């Protein structure tokens, strides 16, 4: 039996699944671990926790599915992007890893832009601006603030690639995750010697870069013994969590875009050619598909806005849902359905935690605009759903403005579970939307990559075509689409009008806290 393991090293925990060659999930397991925040805005984890969780979950799925060591044909790795694991000459972890959501490196981002010769020149080199989440500013932060630790550094790895080292003994990464370090020449899919030189970072610290389906190493005898598997099982490159999730949802060809409405929202577009936004509003990374790229817009509080609305204003619905044993979101969306399209001019700005795409504004804040005596709870609920979807449309419009064809939007996350929200998305985007049979996220995507890399399928597209099917579709309602087309520019203008006030409010909070 040919079985492939997909391992996703997430921020809250590691998920491992076992997938049969035909795409069927045989077993899955998750192990959680703590997130450290030694100071406000800092976010760290102990890489040993990732390794322990990997061992635990691999053993669990092998046991659940009653697999023999000989059944495992390959392993794929995914994980949280941008994190930094600093290793010494003995391959020992020097300090806890700085994660993707760590915000301590604003000064280092400015330093990178200055050393690169400006923001535009930096984007020309690596297709992206410097953001606090990326890996490169974390390396500079270590140099600027912990020089003794910096002197010990001999290798820098991303989270999933540290687990790869423990599995195979190899220092390796792959193009999609490496793109998020800010050190990869994304156009040419190799480390940027030019930027590394400008930043005085030793290229020898960085691992070898593979394509995502390439075999990057094999299980060592020690790792195999610990896991109860066979020595020599191939481990493929894998992918950063967003690229891996896209593979797991079939976003591997031109014209198909994904919109993931989780706590945050991600609009992800496959591209056959490298394209990037000159203003740096989108991420442009190598895709986990050989020779292809992707663009990605990020909304920080997409589904998180409705979660906030539920937690703060829907105690009655929560109690009723508990009594009736249903999801409170079902009651909230049913109430939202009672309000007309456009919420009779009530607009919600979903910037509860600032915003990334397209504004890159940490000071942006949420707001209801247009409240009147006419509005009631259905309007409030519907406007939150519409506002979060408008924010996703902002990213989609930038992608379309780069002449990337978009024929279908595949939905996932919480916004895909609600029939009402699925229709709102079709109407706001003005495009057909679809839901697939795949719900396992990045772990499923890298299991497919492992199947491709070990010969079960010729290409990633072939693997997706064989295993991923559309199970539901929505088409835009022409009347609703016209309403949203009229309302969306007003929504966009509200941020521009309020931007100066957001900055003043941030100063007020700082001075009075």
Q: Cβ distance 186 to 274 under 8 Å?
A: yes
Contact residues for 125 (Cβ-Cβ < 8 A; gap 6+): 116, 185, 192, 194, 195
DSSP lists the bridge partners of residue 45 as 97
Q: Cβ distance 219 to 227 under 8 Å?
A: yes
Element (H, E) at 298: strand 293-299
Number of neighbouring beta carbons within 10 Å of residue 235: 25
Instruction: Name the residue among 445, 438, 441, 431 with its Cα closest to residue 473.
Output: 431
DSSP lists the bridge partners of residue 7 as 16, 77
Q: Cβ distance 181 to 232 under 8 Å?
A: no
Contact residues for 339 (Cβ-Cβ < 8 A; gap 6+): 376, 378, 379, 381, 382, 383
DSSP 8-state code for residue 96: P
DSSP lists the bridge partners of residue 411 as 259
Q: CA angle, corner 414, sides to 409 and 418, nearest 5?
A: 80
End-to-end CA distance of the chain: 61
Q: What are phi and psi of 12, to 5 degrees?
A: -95, -20
- State whether residue 269 is helix, strand or coil: strand
Alpha-carbon distance of 482 to 428, in angstroms, equals 9
DSSP of 12-37? SEEEEEEEETTS-EEEEEEEE---B-
Instruction: Name the residue among 16, 13, 36, 12 with its Cα closest to residue 25.
Output: 16
241 noted as active-site residue: yes
43, 397, 511 from 365: Cα distances, Å: 22, 22, 17
Catalytic residue among 241, 277, 394, 427: 241
Q: Cβ distance 61 to 16 under 8 Å?
A: yes
Place of tokens 């020779």: 291
Give helix 377-401 / helix 419-429 axis angle, nearest 10°: 50
Tokens for 229, please give them.
Answer: 């598997």
Place of tokens 């929200």: 421
Instruction: Name the residue among 350, 343, 404, 348 with its Cα closest to residue 376.
Output: 343
- Write out the catalytic residue numbers: 241
């Amino acid at each position: 039996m040919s079985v492939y393991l997909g391992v996703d090293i997430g921020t809250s925990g590691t998920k491992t699944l076992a997938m049969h060659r035909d795409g069927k999930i045989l077993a899955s397991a998750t192990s959680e671990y703590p997130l450290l925040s030694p100071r406000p805005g800092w976010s760290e984890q102990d890489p040993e926790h990732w390794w322990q969780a990997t061992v635990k979950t691999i053993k669990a799925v092998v046991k659940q599915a009653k697999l023999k060591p000989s059944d495992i044909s390959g392993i794929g790795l995914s994980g949280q992007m941008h994190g930094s694991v600093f290793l010494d000459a003995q391959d020992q972890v020097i300090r806890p890893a700085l994660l993707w959501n760590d915000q301590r490196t604003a000064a280092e981002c400015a330093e990178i832009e200055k050393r690169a010769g400006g923001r535009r020149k930096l984007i020309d080199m690596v297709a992206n601006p410097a953001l606090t989440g990326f890996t490169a500013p974390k390396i500079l932060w270590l140099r600027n603030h912990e020089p003794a630790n910096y002197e010990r550094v001999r290798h820098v790895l991303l989270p999933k690639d540290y687990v790869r080292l423990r599995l195979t003994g190899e220092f390796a990464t792959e193009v999609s995750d490496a793109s998020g370090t800010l050190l990869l020449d994304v156009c040419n899919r190799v480390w940027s010697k030019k930027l590394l030189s400008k930043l005085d970072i030793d290229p020898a610290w960085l691992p070898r870069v593979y394509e995502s389906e390439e075999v990057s190493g094999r299980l060592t005898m020690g790792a195999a013994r610990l896991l109860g598997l066979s020595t020599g099982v191939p481990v493929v490159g894998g992918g950063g969590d967003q690229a891996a999730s896209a593979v797991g949802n079939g976003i591997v060809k031109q014209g198909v875009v994904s919109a993931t409405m989780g706590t945050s929202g991600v609009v992800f577009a496959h591209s056959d050619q490298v394209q990037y936004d000159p203003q740096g509003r989108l991420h442009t990374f190598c895709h986990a598909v050989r020779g292809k790229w992707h663009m990605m817009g990020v909304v920080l509080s997409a589904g998180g806005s409705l979660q906030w609305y539920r937690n703060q204003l829907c105690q009655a619905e929560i109690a009723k849902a508990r009594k009736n044993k249903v999801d409170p979101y079902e009651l909230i969306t049913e109430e939202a359905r009672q309000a007309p399209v456009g919420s009779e001019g009530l607009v919600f700005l979903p910037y509860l935690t600032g915003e990334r795409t397209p504004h890159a504004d940490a000071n942006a804040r949420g707001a209801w605009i247009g409240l009147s005596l006419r509005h009631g709870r259905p309007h409030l609920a519907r406007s939150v759903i519409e506002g979060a979807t408008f924010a996703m449309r902002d990213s989609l419009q930038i992608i379309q403005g780069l002449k990337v064809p978009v024929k279908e939007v595949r939905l996932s996350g919480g916004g895909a579970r609600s029939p009402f929200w699925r229709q709102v998305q079709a109407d706001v985007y003005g495009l057909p939307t679809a839901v697939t049979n795949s719900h396992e996220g990045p772990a499923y995507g890298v299991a497919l990559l492992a199947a491709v890399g070990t010969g079960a399928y010729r290409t990633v597209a072939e693997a997706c075509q064989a295993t991923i099917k559309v199970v539901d579709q929505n088409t835009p309602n022409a009347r609703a689409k016209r309403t949203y087309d009229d309302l969306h520019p007003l929504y966009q203008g509200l941020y521009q009008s309020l931007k100066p006030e957001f900055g003043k409010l941030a100063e007020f909070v700082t001075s009075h806290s």
